[in-house]
């Protein structure tokens, strides 16, 4: 019997019941499988892969084909998880036709169940266009990483009255456009909680405090794999980067000292046959 994946109703059900939504990024089949086995039911194939996988300083260089490739890997590595594909920089901004065509590829070619895109009021018509054509959309407001050059860096958003009001208007706009959930990134705790209370759809926070309806983190951040810098909004539940260095150093030493491999790590042939050779 084929396993049925989590569907979009999961989000509203959790909001209604007051159960926090747990979301995590994934970029390949192996880590996606591990995350699903650990109980995570929502995986985001984020364009953060540009930084934590590809080594760029921002998410801007990531291409659509790269996102589709990594989304396919995550879908292939999971059975039940709800997989969301990030629409990368300038692949949905030119027109709603462009957004519709590219978003459809995530569902049709990569196997995702949803897409995520950045932007509030100005993206509402695009969100509406996608939703009315059967594509579930997760919105993303606050700090929008694809606009990092315009925003002047990785800065908390909504600290002034005008900025806070604009964020609240953005949240209402994406909800009215049909988004089933919205990511709030680097939004002050109190403002994020207020937005969460006023919206009917769930909010997913990252650097937005505990008052959101759910949380999302970057896999490499919580595992201690991304060491360029440690964002304030994350917590390192493991130090896998250090563990990997230790393991690889030990491997190198044992090979150089001829301690690895041993006979136990290889196959053998019959001694009589060896003698004949």
Higher pLDDT, 229 or 124: 124
CA 18 to chain centre: 22
pLDDT band at residue 150 using 50, 70 and 90 as cut-offs: confident
- What's the pLDDT score for residue 221? 96
What span, in angstroms and rounded, lies between the C-alpha atoms of 45 and 66? 11
What span, in angstroms and rounded, lies between the C-alpha atoms of 121 and 143? 14
Give the residue-averaged pLDDT of 36-48: 98
Peptide bond into 261 cis (omega under 30): yes
Task: Give the side-chain half-sphere CA count within 13 A for 17.
Answer: 9
- What's the pLDDT score for residue 92? 98
What span, in angstroms and rounded, lies between the C-alpha atoms of 218 and 109? 24
- What's the pLDDT score for residue 266? 93
Give the residue-averaged pLDDT of 160-179: 98
pLDDT at 273 exceeding the cut of 90: no
137-142 and 114-118: which strand pairing? parallel
Q: Could you tell me if 86 and 44 are in contact, meaning their C-beta atoms sit under 8 angstroms apart?
A: yes
Q: Could you tell me if 190 and 173 are in contact, meaning their C-beta atoms sit under 8 angstroms apart?
A: no
Residue 207's nearest CA partner among 163, 150, 115, 142 is 142
- What's the pLDDT score for residue 152? 78
- Average model confidence (pLDDT) across the chain: 96
Give the residue-averaged pLDDT of 12-37: 98
241-266 pLDDT tens trace: 999 999 999 999 999 999 999 999 99
Catalytic pick from 118, 175, 185, 254? 185
Reply yes or no on whether 79 is catalytic.
Answer: no
Give the residue-averaged pLDDT of 184-207: 98
Using CA atoms of 181, 182, 187, 191 in order, give the dihedral in degrees to the nearest 10.
-50
pLDDT at 274 exceeding the cut of 90: no
Q: Could you write out the three-class secondary structure of 163-187?
A: HHHHHHHHHHHHHHHCCCEEEEECC
Task: Give the side-chain half-sphere CA count within 13 A for 113.
Answer: 22
**Sequential DSSP letters for 42-65:** EEEE-TTHHHHTS--SSSTT--HH
pLDDT band at residue 164 using 50, 70 and 90 as cut-offs: very high
Q: What percent of the chain has pLDDT over 90?
A: 89
What span, in angstroms and rounded, lies between the C-alpha atoms of 5 and 41? 9
Residue 213: partners with Cβ closer than 8 Å, 6 or more residues away: 14, 15, 20, 21, 181, 196, 202, 203, 204
Higher pLDDT, 126 or 2: 126
End-to-end alpha-carbon separation of the chain, Å?
52
> Which H or E run includes 233?
none
Q: Could you tell me if 178 and 128 are in contact, meaning their C-beta atoms sit under 8 angstroms apart?
A: yes
- What's the pLDDT score for residue 1? 62
pLDDT at 277 exceeding the cut of 90: no
What span, in angstroms and rounded, lies between the C-alpha atoms of 172 and 40? 28
What span, in angstroms and rounded, lies between the C-alpha atoms of 157 and 141? 9
What span, in angstroms and rounded, lies between the C-alpha atoms of 87 and 99? 9
Report helix, strand or coil for 134: coil
65-86 pLDDT tens trace: 999 999 999 999 999 999 999 9
- The domains located in the chain, with CATH, are 9-240 (3.20.20.60), 244-276 (no CATH)
- pTM to 2 decimal places: 0.95
């Amino acid at each position: 019997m084929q396993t049925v994946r989590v569907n979009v109703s999961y989000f509203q059900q959790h909001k209604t019941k007051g159960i926090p939504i747990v979301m995590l990024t994934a970029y390949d089949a192996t880590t996606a499988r591990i995350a699903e086995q650990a109980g995570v039911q929502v995986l985001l194939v984020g364009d953060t892969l540009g930084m934590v996988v590809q080594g760029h300083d921002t998410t801007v260089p990531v291409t659509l084909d790269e996102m589709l490739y990594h989304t396919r890997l995550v879908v292939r590595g999971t059975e039940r998880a709800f997989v969301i594909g990030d629409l990368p920089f300038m692949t949905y901004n030119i027109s709603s036709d462009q957004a519709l065509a590219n978003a459809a590829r995530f569902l049709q070619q990569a196997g995702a169940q949803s897409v995520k895109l950045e932007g509030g009021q100005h993206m509402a018509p695009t969100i509406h266009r996608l939703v009315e054509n059967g594509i579930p959309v997760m919105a993303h407001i606050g700090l929008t990483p694809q606009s990092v050059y315009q925003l002047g860096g990785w800065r908390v958003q909504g600290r002034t009255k005008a900025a806070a009001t604009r964020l609240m208007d953005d949240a209402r706009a994406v909800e009215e456009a049909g988004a089933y959930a919205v990511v709030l990134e680097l939004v002050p705790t109190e403002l994020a909680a207020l937005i969460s209370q006023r919206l009917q759809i769930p909010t997913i926070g990252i650097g937005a405090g505990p008052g959101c309806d759910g949380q999302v983190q970057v896999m490499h951040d919580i595992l201690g794999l991304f060491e360029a810098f440690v964002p304030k909004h994350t917590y390192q539940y493991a130090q896998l980067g250090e563990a990997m260095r230790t393991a690889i150093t030990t491997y190198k030493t044992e090979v150089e000292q001829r301690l690895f491999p041993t006979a136990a790590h290889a196959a053998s042939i019959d001694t009589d046959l060896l003698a004949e050779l």
